[in-house]
Structure formats: C-alpha cells, structure tokens
Structure 1
Amino acid sequence: MHPLTTRRSALRALGSAALLAASGTVPSATAAVADERTSRPSVALDWYDLTAATIAAAGAATQITNNRTWAISWLAAARATREVPPGVDRRDFQDAALASAVHDALLALVPSRTQELDAALRTTLDRVPDGLARSKGVAAGARQARLVLASREGDGLDPASVNAPFTVPPAAPGVWQPTPPAYAPAAQYGNRLARPFLLDGPDQYRLPAPPALDSARYRADLAEVRAYGAVDSTVRTALQTETATFWLGSSLTLYTEPLRVALARSPRFVPARAALVALFHIALVDTQIATSDTKYAYLRWRPVTAIRAGTIDPDPDWTPLHVTPAHPDYPSGHNTYSGAAETILTGLTGPRTAPFELTSPTAPGVTRTYTAWSQLSQDNEDARVYSGIHTRSADVAGLALGKRVAGHALRNAERLFGVS
C-alpha cells in the first residue's frame, strides 16, 4: 500500500478531525509552546509524564512488558475519550476519562506506585468542575481500563514469558552462540510466542534469510563491523563513537522524549493525543514480537562470534566497542524499534518537526538536535555497526521490518479503536 494511502487510512481510523491534516504540516515550536501554556494544563501531557515516571521508577525488567503497559493504559484512554455523552462539557469529560483510564490501568500493572497515581488523579480531577461530565468521564475511563486489561490477560508479555528458556543449538558456522564476556543465556525468545495486538501472528512479516556466509554482502558486512566496531578501532571517528554510545541504551527510554515532542506539538484534541501514544506503543509491542520471530527463525551469529571463530581471517582477540546483547544478530532490535517509531510518528504527525533536543542516559553531557524522525533511524543504523554488535545488513533489515509492522498497525488501527 502506498505510504500516503496508509496514512490516510490511519487518520480515518483515529478520527481525522482530531489529528494533523494529511498534508503533513507540523505546528511550529512557538505554537506548541503557546498550546502548552493555555489556562488549564494539558491532561494528556501530565499523564504522559506520569506514565513515563511510573515505568522508570517501578517498571518491568523487560522492555516489551513496559511497552505493553504504555499500550494498555493509553488504548483505554483513547477508547474512553472517543465518544462524549450528550449534555456534558466535552473537555471536562475527556480530561476526566483520560486520567481515570490511565490511572486505573497503571494501578493494575504497576501497583507499587499506588500512592503517586492516586495523588495525580486527585490533582487532575480537582481541575475539572464537579458534575456529570467529571463523573461520567471517570466511569468511562475505569470501564475501558477494565476491558483492555481483560483483553490482554495471558498474552505472554510478562517478564518470565518474555525470557522463556531457549536451547542453544550446537556450534556451527553462522549459528548463534552465547557471546562474551558473560556468555549469558538467550534473551527475549519468548517474545515470538506472545500474542500481538494487531498482527495476525508473530511470523506475518518474517524477513527473508540473512546474507549467505559465502556472499559478497556478508564479507562486506563483516569487514565493516570488524574495522569500525572494534574496541580499539583506528578508523572509527570520535563522532561515530559518540553515536554508538548515545544510542546504546533502551529504545523505550530513548524514544520517550521524541514521542512527547510529537504529542506536545499535535492539536489539543484529547482522543487524538491518546490515540497517538497508544498506537505508537501497540506498534512497538508487535514489532518486538516480530523481531524475535525472525531472530530465532534464522539464529544468525553475532559479529564477535563470526570474527573470532569464523573462517574469514579469524581473530580470537577481537572485541567489540560495546558488550553484545544475548540474542541473535538478524535483525537488529534497536533498528526494528526505530523503523516502527519513525513510521508511526511520520504517519500521524508528518516526517519533519521543529528542532528538538535529545539526551541519552548512556552518553551523559551529550545533546543532539533532530528535525526529522528518519534522522533518529539513520543514527540507530550506524550506531549498532560502530558498537561492533550488529552487521549493516541486520540494521537495514531491522528498519525494514519495523516499518512494515508499523504500517500494518496504521492500516488496521480501527480494529482496536472501533472506528468504522
């Protein structure tokens, strides 16, 4: 499907009157700031920040589980705010409904934050005039939180299921083996056994096989990562090292601010803002499920194994700049995440935005400025090679897979949001 067609389909599904126009025009940064300074604070931004803080303080150890928490909470909010009962103030109802939905879902999923969540709900509701709009909004949010939580029960995205045991196959050329220095067991195998939100199955967009070990593409991949990804590389520049370090951490953490930028700069329609956050994380859950499906379908070894134990100029002492994660090379999970994030943000807010600054917990003191969602993807593609933990082919394939899964989410959003 043509990208513009996909985008229009998503806009129809989420309510085109409540999202940015299909032209892709993005409000200026000045307009966004003015928007945030209106008389009543933005409930969507308040609860976005609270969701991020809740997960940062007491979230799960597995990234996909935390994406699931975001998805459930904000899907409930999007559904609760969609239809306003007759005879009540629209904004009062929607503010109360969003806060109630996110509060109740987070309370069920992260109960250790009960005190903070309850206090935040009181603060929000204190700003909404007492009356039918508020009471009906609270009831709608609570109802949708219960329904969405029930619909996702037993979906296999809890930490124990995500890291289900995996039996490592015997060592052979190209086959993944645990990697130094920890030689840890395989992680995230259980993702491919989980139930997606919108995919028909984990293997719906399974990638073709990675480059053959005797191909020119594979030789080029290995030569690049050997040269640029070594801890003692003599060709990697300081800027390239910074890129690798900046994008080393959790994709969920690194994309929290870009999504907030998009949220703050979108129109102040509450259902649209809730739907943007929900669909972003729904697509990312499905993307991580699809990523693990392809990873464990092909079991491609990591560069450190290929360079140390392979037949192409083996070097038993070669060490990557950064420690290799404990799962197969193909495709890169950071890049599937980035490709999906780019596709959702582009599909719902346009490809470009006013400049915004981004920091990273793995690169203290470094600030980068971006003006297009695709720039984040390009940095992710390069970063994993410069870190020495992925081949270029794994990165490129990862971007492609993430974009396909997110495109599927955009085309099928009405299945979750119930818009005909």
Structure 2
Amino acid sequence: MKRLLLLFAWLVVSPSGKAEVAKQDLAQQLQPTVFAVTMVMIHDVVNPPAASRFYTYCLLGAHEIVARNQKNVVSPSVFVRAFETISIDSKQPYNYQIAALYCILETGRLILPSGYMLEEKQKKLTDQLRSEKYPETVILQSIDVAQSVAKKIVAYAAADNYRKLSARTRYRPSKADGFWYPTPPAYIEAIEPHWRTIRPMMIDSSSQFKPKPPVAFSKDTISAFYKLAYDVYSVGNKLTDEQRFIASYWDCNPFAVNTSGHMSIGFKKISPGGHWMNITSLATKKAGLSFDKALVVESLVAMTLMDSFISCWDEKYRSNRIRPETVINRYINVRWQPLLQTPPFPEYTSGHSVISTAVSELLTFLMGDNFAFTDNTEVIFDLPERQFKSFRQAAGEAAISRLYGGIHYRDAIENGQAQGKAIGEFVVQQLKKAGIKPVL
C-alpha cells in the first residue's frame, strides 16, 4: 500500500489526459537557463533584431509545453500569427517543467550559430536533476518531449523569411545629404536592412505602427533639424557624471570596437533585448512567480521585443536618416565624438526607445505599475546595480540615454517612445482578448 501511495505522489494526470511527473516547482532554474542562451548570443555577437528572434523561438516551444499541461495557461496558438498548437504524444510519464527548460536550450542549440555551446548547460541541468533524485526514466522522457517540440519550433521559425535575408539585394548606403552612412571607428555596413520582411508574432505587419515622419534634414543653421543636431552636440559637451553613467548603463551595443593605432579590439556586450530579458527574469524572481507564470512572462516579453524590432527596423530603413555623429562632424565640429559608439544602422527611430517602451507597457500590465526592482544586468560588464521604481521609469531612462550617448536626436527618442507605447498597448489588448491576465 505504501508503495502505491508513493507511486501516486509521482504520477498525476495532466489536462491532456497524459500521465506526467510532478515534483518541486523549477522556477529557480528558469533565469539561468535563459541567461545561458544570452551568453551564447554575446559570444556570437548577435545583432539586436536577430537576438529578439532567437529569444522568441527558444521560449515559444517551452510556452507551448506548459500550455499543453496546464489548463490555466493560454497556448501561443491563440494569439501568435500562423502558429498552430503542438501536440505532445508521450506514452510515458514526463515532467513538463523539465521538458520546457530543456526545450529552451535545445531550440537554442538548433538555431544559434554557436548553439553547440548549450550542450554543456543541458548536461549540467540533467546532472542536477539526477542529484535531486528525479527518476532517470522521467528525465529521459522529458528530454524526448523537449527535443520533439524544439524540432517543430525550428520548422515554424524556418518559414519566417529569415533564411531569405542573405539572398536579398545588398544594401548600399547613399552618399547624398541627410542619409545614413557608416560611422567610425569600424565603419560597419548596415545591419539587417531587410528585417521588415520577417514574419511578426502578434502585430499585423511591420508598418502597422509607422511613426510620425522625422524632422527633415537641413544644413540651414536656423532649421529645426540643425537645432536637433546642435542639441545633441550641446548636451554631449556638458554631460554630468550621472548622465555619463546612464548612457553607459544602457549602451547595449554588441558591435563596440576600440582602436589603438592599427589595432582594433571588439568588446562583446549584451543586446537591448537581452537587457530586458534579464530584467524580466529578475522581476519574476523577485515576485516569487511560479515556473508557469514566470515562463509565460518571459515568452511574452520576447515576442514583444521581436515585434518591436520589426516595427522599428521598418522605419529605420524607410527614413534612412543620418546619424548625429556624421552631421556634427560635417557641419559643426569635425573633431567631436559621441560618448557612445554609433551603432551601424540608420538613426530614426531610436531602437532602445521603441523596444524598452513597448516591453515596459507589457510588464506594467502583467506585474503592476509600481513594481520596483534592482537591475544587475550590467554587473558582468563592470557596472554597478541600478534601482528602478517601475518598468516605465527604466524604459524612460533607456530612451533618454541615447541622447546622452550622442547617438540619437530628440525626435527619434520621443517618437520612438510613442511608437513603442502604441505597440505595447496593442500587444496588451491582444493578450486580453486571448484571456491572458496579470500575474500579480
């Protein structure tokens, strides 16, 4: 009788009618699992739009696994474009949380350039589960489920036009006045000029949230554009220590290159999306969310990042506006340099302003308007922790940091925030329609 009771404690029936294995909640494993994916992307110097895509697909399969096992979790198939419910045909008991964690790593292993690096994290995860006395049959069956779902996610991802990008006409920057041109010190060519063609997750199209047109370029010293450029120049020349720190804190530039004589040294950094993914992990941990709720929040943030980058990049290569550094060097001060290194793509709108505002709207809906948190994302880059009173406060600081850094004009920041807010509000409405509610 005692053995039967113990067996029942291990086996429960999932909503799908399949036997699954239940044990402790594995929420504490989620952050290091997602961060393992981040570290591989830092190693590969993955550009910001592509990083958001990788996060989305790595979490999408895990989200679906949880939804297939928990009735109160809405399947992504309800609100994600062209995504169909994934059936899980497991004849043996498995732990859906183990399967979800392993699926994050397996999907990353399959789609990231250096995905093989995640094999070590997979081994560490399984070794830890064994040390915690999870039955071997349960671990192996959970891995089998994860691998099966990951393959289906990769097949879904293959149809989003990403593979077609390299076959498109190579982007050639215009040398005409007012248009973006590669900037020093590395003069890197344009990043993802055709990203608008990527299939979005929740928004209708890349141009759905087209922002206000940018202020028109002009060399006239009394023009609105010249005043924008001079504003960047003036602010950059009298930065306070706090403003310098804020700019550096939100730099998030994977393409940073320092030069010394004839030698160039690259510095690998986290992407803007990676920064917000880690903030999300920190927030869900502080809130004490269960594994299911925390994973859904991470997944929704990743999707919002992906859609925000698609929308922003659509505008960047439509307006194709010149960067402040180029304008200031040509018409104001040839020796002026911005505090931050200018990223290799057109200026309008500000990417960090768009994606940070959109994600902050989503997180505010899910976790509340006054959710205070301590962000330690930049500690690995030798910057101290930073405290914020809300997600919106953090997003506002990320946006203005681009002016302090000398890489964006004010209208790109402010209109980028408006663009991001519109995206965030749309996402929230779509989620509400799908039956998704705040987690706190």
TM-score range, shorter chain: 0.7 to 0.9
SS of equivalent to 2:194: helix
Q: Which of these residues, 339, 350, 360, is aligned with residue 321 of structure 1?
A: 339
Moved more, 370-379 or 118-127: 118-127
SS of equivalent to 2:199: coil
Match of 1:75 in 2: 60
Count of matched residue positions in the alignment of Structure 1 and Structure 2: 369
Match of 1:108 in 2: 110
Match of 1:65 in 2: 50
Q: Which of these residues, 292, 298, 302, is aligned with residue 271 of structure 1?
A: 292
For structure 1, which runs of at least 5 residues remain unmatched after alignment? 1-39
Match of 2:245 in 1: 242
1:85 shift after superposition = 8.2
SS of equivalent to 2:401: helix
Match of 1:285 in 2: 306
SS of equivalent to 2:371: strand
Moved more, 387-396 or 132-141: 132-141
Which residues in structure 2 correspond to 1:141-220 (within 5 Å)? 141-157=146-162, 161=166, 165-172=170-177, 174-213=178-217, 217-220=224-227
1:123 shift after superposition = 2.7
1:318 shift after superposition = 2.6
d(CA) in 1 for partners of 2:164 and 2:46? 7
Q: Report whether the alignment pairs 1:302 with 2:323.
A: yes
Deviations along 1:133-186, one digit per CA (max 9) or x if unpaired, are 8777555544432322211114244697499731112312x2222223333321
Q: CA 1:190 to 1:240, structure 2 compared with 1: closer, same or farther past 3 Å?
A: same
Relative to the length of structure 1, the TM-score reads: 0.77
1:372 shift after superposition = 0.7
Match of 2:359 in 1: 341
Asked if 2 retains the 8 angstrom alpha-carbon contact of 1:94 and 1:270, the reply is no
Q: CA 1:400 to 1:357, structure 2 compared with 1: closer, same or farther past 3 Å?
A: same
d(CA) in 1 for partners of 2:306 and 2:433? 16
1:254 shift after superposition = 2.6
Q: CA 1:125 to 1:402, structure 2 compared with 1: closer, same or farther past 3 Å?
A: farther
d(CA) in 2 for partners of 1:220 and 1:85? 56
d(CA) in 1 for partners of 2:378 and 2:408? 20
SS of equivalent to 2:205: coil
Aligned sequence identity (%)? 21
Q: Which of these residues, 228, 238, 244, is aligned with residue 235 of structure 2?
A: 228
Q: CA 1:175 to 1:85, structure 2 compared with 1: closer, same or farther past 3 Å?
A: closer
Match of 2:11 in 1: none
Q: Which amino acid aligns with 1:322?
A: L
Match of 1:45 in 2: 28
Q: CA 1:367 to 1:346, structure 2 compared with 1: closer, same or farther past 3 Å?
A: same
1:112 shift after superposition = 3.3
For structure 2, which runs of at least 5 residues remain unmatched after alignment? 1-22, 72-92, 253-270
1:283 shift after superposition = 0.9
Relative to the length of structure 2, the TM-score reads: 0.73
Deviations along 1:52-76, one digit per CA (max 9) or x if unpaired, are 1233135552233332222112221
d(CA) in 2 for partners of 1:372 and 1:303? 30
Q: Which amino acid aligns with 1:76?
A: G
Q: Report whether the alignment pairs 1:391 with 2:413.
A: no
d(CA) in 2 for partners of 1:414 and 1:130? 39
Runs (4+) off by over 6 Å: 131-136, 414-419
1:396 shift after superposition = 1.3
Match of 1:379 in 2: 397
1:117 shift after superposition = 1.2
Higher RCO (CA < 8 A, seq sep 6+)? 1
d(CA) in 1 for partners of 2:360 and 2:401? 16
Moved more, 105-114 or 264-273: 264-273
Q: CA 1:132 to 1:271, structure 2 compared with 1: closer, same or farther past 3 Å?
A: farther
- RMSD over aligned Cα atoms: 3.4
